[in-house]
Structure 1
Amino acid sequence: MGNNILYTFIRHSVKKLFLYTETAFILTGRLVGLLFIPFFKSQFFFLFPFYHIGGAEKVHIKIVRCLKEYKPVVFITNKSKNSALKKQFTQSAKTFNFGYFNYFDNPIFINFWVGVLCTIINNNKNGVVFGCNSILFYKLTPHLKPQIFCIDLIHAFGGGIEDFSLPYVERLDKRVVINKRTLKDLKDQYRLNNINEKMNERIILIENCVRIPESIKRKNNKSTLKILYVGRGSEEKRVNLIGKISHLCHQNNIPVEFTLVGDVRNSIEKQYSMYCNFLGEVTDEKLISEIYDNSDVLLLVSSREGFPLAIMEAMAHGIVTISTDVGGISEHICNGRNGFLIKNESEDLVIKNVCKVINELASNKFLMNKISLEAYEYAKTNFNCKNFCSQYEKVFWSK
């Protein structure tokens, strides 16, 4: 009994101490923020986690470009692996990198920067704050004045940020999702957590876009099928399976050539790396366009996704996509018509079924060319950027 009382007392005391410490660091940040006010005068503020290369980061750049004329401010909140896309952010906005400090695994320092940012942003009348995949963004929102308009973007469910955002739902004036699957997931999350149904009205679907070439380069009719992977080497991408697929294709004498773009060399087991060409990270848009032009198939075997930008880019170049059926991919890939969907079963079955499709395409150039054309026509109709900026601008000015 005495132990329980002591435990309760200690727990309560630690909690109170933490709250006092949190308040103290926020107040300290507010005071420091006064020094930064003259340097960050804008109506539009963005909080993004990284400027290293990635599909999400490319989308974030597009969104910022839509407001370039209003001189927006971008805060990078986490430590990026490299500065691959830094220049593209700085071309459209004043960019400040909190990642240099690399303290965001420590709640004390998060509270300090919450104080700094709320002072800066609250000082700008009719401000708009837009965040994505940033813990700092969500922790900031309760400290912003009611007239500050708060918007977040959810690329996909499964990374954990969607759960972290739950306590802040009512402070979010608009929420943007990129596909119908994520829209459904978000509404289901609200229902399961007894969140007011009126919050559903704040969710807006805005699909991503890519530049569409005027025409597609005629794909090679040689015997070798050129297979491409573009993306990160993160766990959910399961790049290790692509190494195994390349090995199985060669074992079965399927004429293929595998090329991987991204920091993924260490994701492929050494025994399979001999069957793959590694190009590393490619930031030059002209070069990545040439790589797409010279490829036949885009291969993705992810365990979870939203709707990858790589698929949109590939289809815009007439590439046939083979992908696991996860996230919002089936909203745009029609199996056997403009690409191929692989059931997300066991890894062994995924490998086997991917190889089966690759073999079919390698032996049937007519089918390959037919689906290539279908993919391009679909992208031209559905992925063009004509309405992308106008949709986002409508959200930003809807306060």
Structure 2
Amino acid sequence: MVKNFVPRAELVSVSERNVAFVGRLSEEKGPDTFVAIAQHFPERQFHIYGSGPLESSLQQQAGDNIQFHGHQSNMNNVWSSVDLLLITSRYEGLPMAALEAMSRGIPVISFELGELPNVIDSGSNGWIASDHKEMVSILNEWFTLSDSKRAQIKYQAQQTIELNYSTEVVIPTMLDIYGITG
């Protein structure tokens, strides 16, 4: 099996503790869960990058601490303002948003979905939550971590991608599978 992969990226340094949802605003992606979790933290900023059929109903439910940024054709400029990514999907394989975020040192909190438990070592480079309540608890923990502990987790997230899911690692494996030599 060939892994998903992303190019190496620069480590993001964000002073604000902004939390993001990146994806289609549809039932399977769970943006309603993201909105519900944000309601536990009215003093914190939450950002939704994406559009879809649930957009207008989510905007009606959302508190003042949630900003909707709409569809993004290129996330490269957006990642620099994201401190933490929540994956609130109801089902997934291996979301590219998680790999792209982690490649920049943006940790991910996700439900136990698809391949994410094989990528995320809970507490080391991100977190796997068993349910909504645990995700809220982990997010609260993230907000109270020291800068040095946050920096360590961010570095581990980036290293996980660089060592296992970067183009430099996966492309040679693909070429080998197909019998292509340089």
Equivalent residue, structure 2, for 1:292: 79
Letter in structure 2 aligned against 1:391: M
Equivalent residue, structure 2, for 1:329: 116
Letter in structure 2 aligned against 1:232: R
Deviation for aligned residue 1:384: 1.1
Equivalent residue, structure 2, for 1:175: none
Q: Does 1:375 align with 2:157?
A: yes
Q: Which contiguous aligned blocks of 4+ residues in structure 1 show a shift greater than 6 angstroms?
A: none
2:143 to 354, 362, 369: 362
- The alpha-carbon distance between structure 1 residues 392 and 266, as it changes in their structure 2 partners (threshold 3 A), is farther
Higher relative contact order (CA 8 A, sep 6+): 2
The correspondence of residues 27-46 of structure 1 with structure 2, limited to 5 A, is none
- The alpha-carbon distance between structure 1 residues 393 and 230, as it changes in their structure 2 partners (threshold 3 A), is farther
SS at match of 2:33: helix
Letter in structure 1 aligned against 2:111: T
Equivalent residue, structure 2, for 1:352: 133
Letter in structure 2 aligned against 1:358: L
Q: How far apart in 1 are the matches of 2:30 and 2:104? A: 24
Equivalent residue, structure 2, for 1:248: 40
Equivalent residue, structure 1, for 2:67: 277
CA contact (8 A) 1:243 1:268 kept: yes
Equivalent residue, structure 2, for 1:259: 47
Q: How far apart in 2 are the matches of 1:354 and 1:262? A: 21
* Gap regions ≥5 residues in structure 2: none
Q: CA deviation digits over 1:357-394, x for unaligned, max 9?
A: 11111111333222111101111111111233761684
Q: CA deviation digits over 1:17-64, x for unaligned, max 9?
A: xxxxxxxxxxxxxxxxxxxxxxxxxxxxxxxxxxxxxxxxxxxxxxxx
TM-score (norm 1): 0.41
CA contact (8 A) 1:243 1:275 kept: no
- The alpha-carbon distance between structure 1 residues 283 and 314, as it changes in their structure 2 partners (threshold 3 A), is same
Q: CA deviation digits over 1:134-177, x for unaligned, max 9?
A: xxxxxxxxxxxxxxxxxxxxxxxxxxxxxxxxxxxxxxxxxxxx
Q: How far apart in 2 are the matches of 1:367 and 1:231? A: 28
CA contact (8 A) 2:94 2:115 kept: yes
CA contact (8 A) 1:240 1:267 kept: no
Q: Does 1:206 align with 2:2?
A: yes
SS at match of 2:68: strand
Deviation for aligned residue 1:248: 1.4
Q: Which has the higher helix share?
A: 1
CA contact (8 A) 1:236 1:303 kept: yes
Q: How far apart in 1 are the matches of 2:69 and 2:179? A: 38
Q: Which of 1 and 2 has greater Rg?
A: 1
Q: How many residues align?
A: 176
CA contact (8 A) 1:206 1:388 kept: no
- The alpha-carbon distance between structure 1 residues 393 and 244, as it changes in their structure 2 partners (threshold 3 A), is same
User: % of aligned pairs identical?
Assistant: 24
* Gap regions ≥5 residues in structure 1: 1-204, 344-349
Q: CA deviation digits over 1:78-119, x for unaligned, max 9?
A: xxxxxxxxxxxxxxxxxxxxxxxxxxxxxxxxxxxxxxxxxx
SS at match of 1:388: helix
Equivalent residue, structure 2, for 1:384: 166
Letter in structure 2 aligned against 1:230: V
2:98 to 293, 301, 311: 311
TM-score (norm 2): 0.87
SS at match of 2:120: coil
